[in-house]
Amino acid sequence: MRNICVIGVGYVGLVTGTCFADLGNRVVALDINEERIANLKQGILPIYEPGLEEMVKRNVAAGRLDFTTSYAEALRGADFAFIAVGTPEGVDGEADLQYVRAAAESIAENMTQPLIIVNKSTVPVGTGDWVADIVRAKQPRPIAFSVVSCPEFLAEGSALSDFMNPARIVLGSTDREAANQVADLHLSLRAPIVVTDLRTAEMIKYASNAFLATKISFINEIANICEALGADVKEVAAGMGYDPRIGKHFLNAGLGWGGSCFPKDVRALAYMATVQGKHPQLLQSVMDINKYQRRQAVLKTREMLGGLKGKTIGLFGLAFKPNTDDMRDAPSVEIARALQAEGALVKGYDPVAMHAAERMMPGVAMCASAYEVAEGADAVIVCTEWNEFKQLDLARIKQSMRQPVLVDGRNLYDAKRMQDLGFQYRGMGRG
């Protein structure tokens, strides 16, 4: 049992804190957002993540998990302080480190005993050293501390199982003893542990996200070629994926990658490269292809309807991917905006992201179900491949639409079946 303070109760912080508590540690999770903490104290979660609510309640009841807005309270008796605050995109694609800086300063001002500061936020290479400098400069009196980089690899929607069954734990530090202590916290997860210096660990995180984004953009480029040549990218990806050197994951062609991480992290890596005088050509193409994928949904719909002005377009799914309520950089937002700019009326439905979506999609009519979205629509675009869209009564959907046009941005449906049902159907890369 160790005493852990987690700073930030967003997707990463709340999952990390709750899972460490579930492993038997004593965790205090802190946030400067008073509403989030007040709600958490009443069992109301700020985010949707499958299984998390039950785990939070169980660990609070067991006395292993607490919430606070006070750094002094959170750091009292803590052996570790995990930084899990946001690092959004700043000017020119550079990561904005204002929240990391504020967290480091507050740690320095409130720590009262030796501490291992573990950085879980995705931060530019060199940030670990910078955090150490901030803490040293801001401490009212010197107290020993170490900084360890421990990048997070969880994906939203499967965060609990990703935490409990990690593919690897990466730890970076110049202080081997501190890294060993953080390794000990993870030993029961039985994952490979990679120990490196700080900068290398920070780079492993960016390189991993950039590689996954590259894989998706690669298959999207292949999809576009498939479409022109009459091949089906779904089958192509399946055929490629059996080769263990290629692997079957992250080869789903469609509207491309969105969310709170790939877009900002690929841009931040490209920015770091550019500042060093390098030309990140591959990363640039990866981003360009991704932008084009979103545009394609609009182009296809326009082409099939012969124009968008005055047409009603429905969106199935709004979140950036299924099993999350996260709307950050969701393709649906850009697609809705482009449709509206051409004079279309847009309506949409998402199983869990409606609340967040309402704020980010002004003018989009929010519906209670996919069936309501289809009602009277000239076309439907599938933006997110939620399970509940997989087995819809498609005959009913077609019946209720003004025109049976369906653009399948996530290749959810069988093209032949859709044609048999009488839809004018277009997927992504299915020639």
Q: Which two tokens stand for residue 282?
A: 């591959």
Closest CB to ligand UGA among residues 268, 394 = 268
SS3 of 265-329 = HHHHHHHHHHHCCCCCHHHHHHHHHHHHHHHHHHHHHHHHHCCCCCCEEEEECCCCCCCCCCCCC
321 binds, among ligand UGA, ligand NAD, none (CB under 5 to 8 A by kind): ligand UGA
State yes or no: is 5 an active-site residue.
no
Measured CA distances, 94 to 87, 145, 150, 264, 326 (Å): 10, 28, 21, 8, 22
Q: Does 263 bind ligand UGA (CB under 6 A)?
A: no
Smallest gap from Cβ 106 to ligand NAD, in A, equals 6
Q: What is the dihedral of CA 375, 380, 382, 383, to 10 degrees?
A: -100
Taking CB under 6 A as the criterion, the residue among 22, 49, 66, 156 binding ligand UGA is 156
Q: Which two tokens stand for residue 173?
A: 């530090």
Q: Does 256 bind ligand UGA (CB under 6 A)?
A: yes
Taking CB under 6 A as the criterion, the residue among 11, 48, 262, 320 binding ligand NAD is 11
Smallest gap from Cβ 385 to ligand UGA, in A, equals 8
Q: Does 250 bind ligand UGA (CB under 6 A)?
A: yes
CB atoms within 10 A of CB 422: 12
CA-nearest of 88, 93, 89 to 274 is 93
Q: Does 218 bind ligand UGA (CB under 6 A)?
A: no
Closest CB to ligand NAD among residues 12, 394 = 12
Task: With contacts defined by CB under 6 A, name the span among 177-185, 252-260, 310-318, 415-423 that binds ligand UGA.
Answer: 252-260
Closest CB to ligand UGA among residues 11, 71 = 11
Closest CB to ligand NAD among residues 214, 324 = 324
Q: Does 258 bind ligand UGA (CB under 6 A)?
A: yes
Q: Does 122 bind ligand NAD (CB under 6 A)?
A: yes
Task: With contacts defined by CB under 6 A, name the span among 33-41, 151-159, 169-177, 298-306 that binds ligand UGA.
Answer: 151-159
86 binds, among ligand NAD, ligand UGA, none (CB under 5 to 8 A by kind): ligand NAD
110 binds, among ligand UGA, ligand NAD, none (CB under 5 to 8 A by kind): none
CA-nearest of 25, 18, 84 to 45 is 18
Q: Does 127 bind ligand NAD (CB under 6 A)?
A: no
Structural contact between residues 139 and 108, judged by C-beta atoms closer than 8 angstroms: yes
Listing from the earlier edge strand, what are the strands of the sheet with 312-316? 365-366, 345-349, 312-316, 379-382, 405-408, 424-426
Q: Binding string, 228-267, against ligand NAD, x = CB under 6 A? A: --------------------------------xx------
Closest CB to ligand UGA among residues 241, 376 = 241
Q: What are phi and psi of 36, to 5 degrees?
A: -60, -45
Measured CA distances, 321 to 66, 165, 174, 389, 402 (Å): 30, 21, 37, 13, 28
Q: What are phi and psi of 368, to 5 degrees?
A: -90, -10
Q: What burial class does residue 390 get, using C-beta atoms within 10 Å of its C-beta: 0-12 exposed, 13-18 middle, 19+ buried? A: exposed
Smallest gap from Cβ 70 to ligand NAD, in A, equals 11
Q: Which two tokens stand for residue 243?
A: 């080769």
Residue in 5, 261, 367, 383 annotated catalytic: 261
**In terms of residues, how long is the chain?**
431
Structural contact between residues 198 and 173, judged by C-beta atoms closer than 8 angstroms: yes
Q: Which two tokens stand for residue 354?
A: 């409606």
212 binds, among ligand UGA, ligand NAD, none (CB under 5 to 8 A by kind): ligand UGA
Indicate the helix (H) or strand (E) that contains 380. Answer: strand 379-382
Task: With contacts defined by CB under 6 A, name the span among 53-61, 209-217, 375-383, 392-400 that binds ligand UGA.
Answer: 209-217
Residues making contact with ligand UGA (CB under 6 A):
122, 152-156, 209, 212, 216, 250-252, 254, 256-259, 261-262, 320-321
Residues making contact with ligand NAD (CB under 6 A):
7-13, 30-33, 36, 84-87, 99, 102-103, 121-122, 152, 154, 156, 260-261
Please list the active-site residues. Answer: 261
